Amino acid sequence: MTNEKMKRRLASALEKTAPDDVNGVLSRCEVRKGTVISMTTRKPTKKRWPALVAACLAVMLLCGAGLFYQQTNAVASVVSLDVNPSIELKVNRSEKVLVCTPLNDDAKAVLADMGNGADLRGAKLDVAVNAIVGSLVRNGYLSSISSAIMISVEDKDTARAEKLQRELTSAVDDVLQTSASRASVLTQTLTQDAEREQQARENNISTGKAALVNRVLSINPSLKFAELAALSVEELKDLAEAGAPAMPIGKDKALAIAVAEFGKENSAEILYSEVDPELDESPAHYEVEITSRSGEEIEYKIDAYTGAVLEIKREMADDEEPEGQPSKPEQPGAAQNIGYAKVKSIALSHAGVDADTVYDMNVKLDVENGVVIYEVEFKSGNMEYDYEIDAASGIILKYEAELDD
């Protein structure tokens, strides 16, 4: 079969398979002319899971942030420091201070250079306690051998409370040793007690001191809470150890009695005074030491319950030298020894401090290179002063002023 014949057969087969029916097709289409065929466009389905995941993550972040805020700002422990000043610190689980509150006027004086406690917010608890105890020492609250500071830790978690108690006791001991303070440290752990908290609020004391007052009341229920709350920690401690036989007159009353007695002998103004309770001794008494501007030092023993003056002891008079101190040698053309009162006045005037703000005053005679001098040491505020003054002329030979560490 030739190629030409093959082409003709293929064309004939194609015509039979797909006939030419264009006109028929068009006529059938005219029947549907004008008919609207509805067409629905199917939108692609959006994938919603990324949005859901993002929302879940946002919720988780908010919950996490809320939990972190709650843990950071929630009070986990309440720590109180009591001498006569009462100071309360609320701390979180991380042992950071949330708030530091002075509970009485003495406490406000102690926290005066710390923004009344506001500057301690956010500080680690041990750092805050070190600062407070240092200020207590500088302000003379822990200077006597009978002084006592009480550390109380209130926490629902007993183990955490005991841990804090041990840590704070060690920290306070270190500060006291560094400052050569002879004060004792009392500690206690407490659980929450609504009645005790109310007693503390009503009497402007800490819950720790309220617990100590209640201890005394358990020994002698006839005493009154409000009167006991006005006593210092050292008085309450001694009173409890002595069996709390009666209500003592208090440090302020003992000082007033001594001042009145001092006035009978010497009308000079008082330069310095200190009161130490000895309620656990027999007879129970207050030792009151008064130093006048003239240099006279007198110690009074006042009955702790009756207020009677039991003993008066003269430690040093204006015209007397302390026992054991070298006598002033004769110097050609030298004036008389200017005396303790004068040398104190010279030092205070040069330092520019008021006598009422001075504590830990110490004056003694010494001889250096054949020259009699006075060595004067004292503290005021957060400063410590040291002077060497010529005993004959009153000339300041040497002085130092530095921050009291």
Give per-residue pLDDT as tens, 300-342. 999 999 999 999 987 654 444 444 444 433 333 333 567 777 8
pLDDT at 318: 42
Domain covering 251-316: architecture = Roll (3.10)
pLDDT at 308: 95
The rounded distance, in Å, linking the Cα atoms of 40 and 6 is 50
pLDDT at 229: 95
pLDDT at 215: 95
Amino acid identity of 281? E
pLDDT at 288: 92
pLDDT at 209: 95
pTM greater than 0.75: no
Please answer whether residues 229 and 205 qualify as being in contact, where contact means their C-beta atoms are separated by less than 8 angstroms. yes
> Which residue numbers in the chain have pLDDT < 50?
10, 13-14, 17-18, 22, 25-26, 29-41, 267, 317-335
The rounded distance, in Å, linking the Cα atoms of 25 and 276 is 126
User: What backbone torsions phi and psi does residue 310 show, to the nearest 5 degrees?
Assistant: -85, -30
Vertex 70 angle, CA 66 and 76, to 5°:
165
**Residue 46: burial class (beta carbons within 10 Å; 0-12, 13-18, 19+):** exposed
pLDDT in tens, 188-246: 999 889 999 999 999 999 999 999 999 999 999 999 999 999 999 999 999 999 999 99
Please answer whether residues 179 and 53 qualify as being in contact, where contact means their C-beta atoms are separated by less than 8 angstroms. no
CA 195 to chain centre: 25
pLDDT at 7: 55
pLDDT at 237: 92
Task: Say if domain 339-403 classifies as CATH 3.10.450.40.
Answer: yes
